[in-house]
Amino acid sequence: MNLLKSYEKNFDNDKQQKSNVVDKRQAGAASILIVDDDPGMRVLLSNLLRRNGFRVTTAPDYDEMVGELEARNIDLMLLDVMLPGASGFDICRDVRAGGWGDIPIIMISARGDEADRVAGLELGADDYIAKPFGDSEVLARVRAVLRRPPLAERARKERTHILRFAGWTMDLRRRELCAPSGAAVTLSSAEFDLLANLVEHPQQIIGRDRLLELARFRLPGSSDRSIDVLVSRLRGKLGGDCDPQIIRTVRGFGYMFAADVERS
């Protein structure tokens, strides 16, 4: 009897030690919030991420998502596009505009066409996974996004955040662009990020892949086209108030911001 109790005690101690090791490992792991109205999908993704050392919380809709964001520090969000009430696109827009703007977002959807991927990029998503997907793809994308800490955003906020070029003024902290006339110019999140990275590297030729690495977004399958479309839109919005060649195309490589830039 005493031998049995001793065995049980040793077993419990060993179990507790292993639990403590897991808890310590989990304590240093990234915290991921899954926002999906499908219970089966929440369980599938939760189990996958927890098995691989991540801390996971879930929310089926917008209201519970807000509660989770207010209750804990979230390092990354997996966000389903097709949600009841507010869609994933609506939520992405609100997160970027609200107090959680720096949280990386990976959108998940059964609709994998280019229009949806570009829509996600425009709203500030960091990546986009189309259903059906494999476990290895989810893990690879999660780890890739987590390897991209908001270095550019934090560095901008710590350094000078007002940039001026050719009469234009760009406020990186407020994410505002003003024309030489003083009028505010509306840019999408993706357009602003792209322009900011070009302006912060004046007179340098930057490849399309590098622009994607510098920016907060990265979408699979349409990188070159997405960058080209965004540059075209930027040129249109800079319009007659700016030299059309201020963003120069370097054939076969990428783009160069040709204007002189002043920081203040």
The model carries a pTM of 0.51
CA distance 241 to 244: 9
- The residues that bridge with 178 in the sheet, in sequence order, are 169, 184
CA distance 172 to 161: 5
What's residue 129's pLDDT?
Answer: 87
Judge contact between 178 and 185, C-beta under 8 A.
yes
Confidence at residue 202, expressed as pLDDT on a 0 to 100 scale: 86
91-119 pLDDT, tens digit each: 888 887 666 767 889 988 876 566 766 77
Nearest to 212 by CA among 232, 233, 190: 190
DSSP state of 241: G
Domains of the chain are 11-149 (3.40.50.2300), 152-263 (1.10.10.10)
Distance CA 189, CA 197 (A): 12
Calpha distance 31→4 (Å, rounded): 40
Which residue ranges of the chain lie beneath pLDDT 50?
Answer: 1-27, 151-152, 154-158, 217-222
pLDDT reported for residue 152: 45
Alpha-helical segments (H) within the chain: 2-27, 39-51, 62-71, 88-97, 114-122, 135-146, 151-158, 189-199, 208-214, 223-238
